Amino acid sequence: MSTPTRLRLFCLPYSGASAMVYARWRRALPEWLQVCPLELPGRGMRMDEPLQRDIKALAAQLADEISCDLNGPYALFGHSLGGLLAFELAHALNARGVPAPLALFASGTAGPARRDVSEYAIEKTDEQLIARLRELQGTTEEALANPELMQLMLPILRADFLLCGSFTYGERAPLGMPIHVFGGKQDSVRADQLLDWQLDAASGFSLDMFDGHHFFLVQHESAVLRCVRRYADEHLARWRNGAARPLAVG
């Protein structure tokens, strides 16, 4: 009896987070959809490595790390900064001539074509970072008031903001894979900014909106995962039928 085909979902964390934010997904999703969180330098199991502040350099590093093991169907998922990093990773993988992702999932993040990252290009103070965390409503007041926790978290968040601020769009062809975009109905990232992802989607686009603010993927995890599973199932079925399309990026 043959082993069922699995689709690996490489997940990229949002600013200040580690790969652990996707740990629950492994238990919530079926075995055929294999959650593979990517740990970024400077956190979690890679705490001893220096934090990265250049998004293209980080995407190239991650592409080198995973490109030797892309012998089956896979997709990329990222929330907030992770969505922008997933976009850069897709381009970096294409530059290496490896098999393309079946899809890119970009959650809670504006499309790259008209994105303004200028506010992130300047290093933030601790006070500015804490104010931003409070605005995003993803960190409890107890955590914000914990000096030891903030001492660990703020350097990572500061580097991640600079990582986002290093992004430049450049002249690149649209990605030759479907792009599925998720947004929060009460998030500060507007629907028109989410729709900008269409400019980089050459072979399919969707936008799904969920109740909640920026961290809707935590607040409404079940609804988000149902959507991820549905799209992944469709792409895996097409891949099995030989309809998977190559990544057509110049």
Q: Which residues are catalytic?
A: 80
10's enclosing H/E stretch is strand 7-12
**Sheet strands side by side (includes 179-184):** 33-37, 7-12, 74-79, 104-107, 179-184, 205-210
Three-state DSSP class for 37?
A: strand
- Backbone φ and ψ of 150, nearest 5°: -65, -35
CB 94 within 8 A of CB 174: no
Distance CA 35, CA 77 (A): 10
What is the β-pairing status of strands 104-107 and 7-12?
A: unpaired
Question: Residue 149's beta-bridge partner residues?
Answer: none
Count Cα neighbours of 78 within 13 Å in the Cβ-side half-sphere: 25
Distance CA 20, CA 214 (A): 18
**Tokens found for residue 25:** 């997904």
| First-last CA distance in the chain | 41
Distance CA 4, CA 91 (A): 29
